[in-house]
């Protein structure tokens, strides 16, 4: 499932982040990938140990915990702290697949990357190029969202970032291990949850809504890996 998560950050939050990030010390983005990724990656990133990155990442994670659509779609169990990247002057990231397992700073447990997240911190009109291109079984999808919006997609997808030919593309990106490993099951749970929410708005907590809610939680109980 590939899903647009709108309004993760407010306009004021994005503006505050950009004021800070525009004056930050960026490093070569190839420092955070393996040999294959390093051959096709040309961008800049905040270092993984950056105190600024940790501070801004905490703002993003707090916002996501308050976002019901994200919680419904991702069913997050553990999350890699958000990282930040910047593309300008033709920088790009060629076709690649994210690594299946990542470490989490401060945790002895590895994280399985079920979902990849890109949170846009620049508006589409501020730069040319820079589309996130995701290829899956349903075809190829180009993504370029308003600042403050996020795209969520399976980490197993082949994806790339097109060259930025004008302006600067700034994003946060990170990975999520879901309580439900299988993308198809996770998608079914999300659709069922959204249907329940719409029914509750129309008819309240009728017996049918309670029954569907029971089915949702019983399925989650059966499929969740904790």
Summarised one tens digit per residue, pLDDT across range 182-198 is: 999 999 999 999 999 99
Do residues 111 and 134 share a domain?
A: yes
Q: Is 187 exposed, middle or buried (0-12, 13-18, 19+ CB in 10 A)?
A: middle
Mean pLDDT of the residues in the chain: 96
The structural domain count of the chain equals: 2
Do residues 153 and 206 share a domain?
A: no
pLDDT of 73? 98
The DSSP string of 118-166 is EEE-S-GGGEEE--EEEEETTEEEEE-PPTT-EEEEETTSEEEE--EEE
The boundaries of the domain holding residue 198 are 183-223
Do residues 115 and 41 share a domain?
A: yes
Do residues 16 and 87 share a domain?
A: yes
104 vs 126 pLDDT, higher one: 126
* pLDDT tens digit sequence for 64-112: 999 999 999 999 999 999 999 999 999 999 999 999 999 988 889 999 9
Do residues 73 and 33 share a domain?
A: yes
pLDDT of 123? 98
pLDDT of 220? 98
The model's pTM is: 0.96
Do residues 65 and 109 share a domain?
A: yes
* pLDDT tens digit sequence for 142-190: 999 999 999 999 999 999 999 999 999 999 999 999 999 999 999 999 9
Residue with tokens 């010390």: 25
pLDDT at 5 over 90: yes
* pLDDT tens digit sequence for 11-40: 999 999 999 999 999 999 988 777 777 899
pLDDT of 166? 98
Do residues 131 and 207 share a domain?
A: no
pLDDT of 113? 98
CATH number at residue 20: 2.60.120.620
């Amino acid at each position: 499932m590939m899903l647009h998560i709108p309004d993760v950050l407010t306009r004021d939050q994005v503006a505050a982040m950009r004021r800070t990030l525009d004056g930050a010390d960026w490093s070569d983005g190839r420092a955070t990938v393996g040999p294959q990724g390093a051959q096709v990656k040309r961008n800049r990133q905040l270092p993984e140990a950056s105190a600024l990155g940790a501070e801004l990442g905490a703002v993003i994670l707090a916002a996501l915990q308050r976002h019901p659509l994200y919680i419904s779609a991702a069913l997050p169990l553990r999350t890699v702290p958000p990282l930040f990247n910047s593309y300008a002057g033709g920088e790009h990231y060629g076709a690649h697949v994210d690594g299946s397992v990542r470490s989490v700073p401060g945790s002895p447990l590895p994280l399985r990357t079920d979902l990849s997240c890109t949170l846009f911190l620049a508006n589409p009109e501020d730069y040319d190029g820079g589309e996130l291109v995701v290829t899956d079984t349903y075809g190829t999808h180009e993504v370029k969202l308003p600042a403050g919006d996020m795209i969520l997609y399976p980490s197993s997808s082949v994806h790339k970032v097109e060259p930025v030919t004008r302006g600067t593309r700034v994003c946060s990106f990170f990975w999520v291990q879901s309580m439900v490993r299988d993308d198809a099951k996770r998608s079914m749970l999300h659709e069922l949850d959204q249907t329940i929410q719409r029914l509750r708005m129309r008819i309240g907590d009728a017996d049918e809504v309670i029954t569907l809610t029971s089915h949702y939680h019983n399925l989650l109980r059966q499929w969740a890996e904790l």
